[in-house]
Amino acid sequence: MWRASLFLTYILCSYAQDVNQEPKLYSASTAGDVARIIGGNVTTVEKYPFAVQILYMSQLSCGGTLITTWHVLSAAHCFVYQSGQLVNPALFSARIGSSYVNRGGTVHRVSQIVVHDSYNTPIRSNDVAVMTLSTSVRLSASVALAVLPVQGAVVPDNVPVVIIGWGRTNASLAQGSEELNEVQVYSVPLNTCRERYQFLESYTDQSFPVTDNMICAGLLNIGGKDACQGDSGGPALYRGVVVGITSWGWGCAQALFPGVNTRVSSYTSWINSTVRAHSPSGMGDRSPINIQTTIVPMLL
């Protein structure tokens, strides 16, 4: 019993210490926040050919995932002001097929951005959006379409999840990395994640609802590896399938508060219907996105 009490005291003190540090939420990137993967390794777009750099006024702002030759999946908060107003799509572009920031690949202008109708800016729910490009992408060894999970698929607890993005490899660095980075973390049980953020609410005047449409991932009680500002909108992968969209978190790489991702399988049907409704003529009536039906026995 005393061991449990000591552990609880340690957790409470650690919570209080983390809260007193007052790190910022990493959920708003339209002001030009720089991407950051904490504790990861350099990788290439040849390994992740669906990785997209979303540029805001020609500067890296968010990550994204190529899901058709015309469409990029990302987070809604990358395109919405805190007031709830949609940012002008003409201010965005997408660099595709390059491992490097500000060079290589091809840059495509954006013609339209569709944010989920139920996206809620203050609480970051339904944080998903589909971006339509002005020109079609040519597939190659460094440019390929991602695979999405079937609607309703569930990622098991405590399994490896890979997050990718561009930017700072250390929170203390002011300048972002020039190369794509990857980091492996682990899925955190939703109830555990929810309890951690509910506790945080008691120390702040903010609300941190963790819903069933989210996936938490990190190194729980260890920290040191995570995504952060600007990595928002980028993919979280389980067994090569894009199961999450980097959405929000308390600080970066915190031991007690894992990162929170939009659960893609909660929105696969919405993504598919949105792509159908905003596709050039001639794409046909078939599903234009890659849905990995064989993921069902792996995830359920």
12: amino acid identity, one letter: L
CA pair distance 209, 229, nearest whole angstrom: 19
Q: Is 127 a catalytic residue?
A: yes
Backbone torsions φ then ψ of 181, nearest 5 degrees: -120, 155
Q: Enter the DSSP assignment of 167.
A: S
- Compute CA distances 208 → 53, 122, 128, whole Å: 27, 9, 17
Residues in the chain, how many?
300
Which entry of 61, 232, 247, 265 is annotated as an active-site residue?
A: 232
Backbone torsions φ then ψ of 77, nearest 5 degrees: -65, -15
Which entry of 71, 77, 108, 116 is annotated as an active-site residue?
A: 77
Vertex 165: Cα angle to 245 and 272 (nearest 5): 35
Cβ neighbors of 248 (< 8 A, separation 6 or more) are 25, 26, 27, 77, 124, 127, 232, 259, 260
CA pair distance 94, 298, nearest whole angstrom: 32
**Cβ atoms < 10 Å from Cβ of 137:** 22
Q: Is 116 a catalytic residue?
A: no
Give 3-state DSSP helix, strand, coil % of the chain, rounded to 5.
Answer: 20, 35, 50
Q: Is 77 a catalytic residue?
A: yes
Which entry of 18, 127, 226, 231 is annotated as an active-site residue?
A: 127
Residues with a known catalytic role: 77, 127, 232
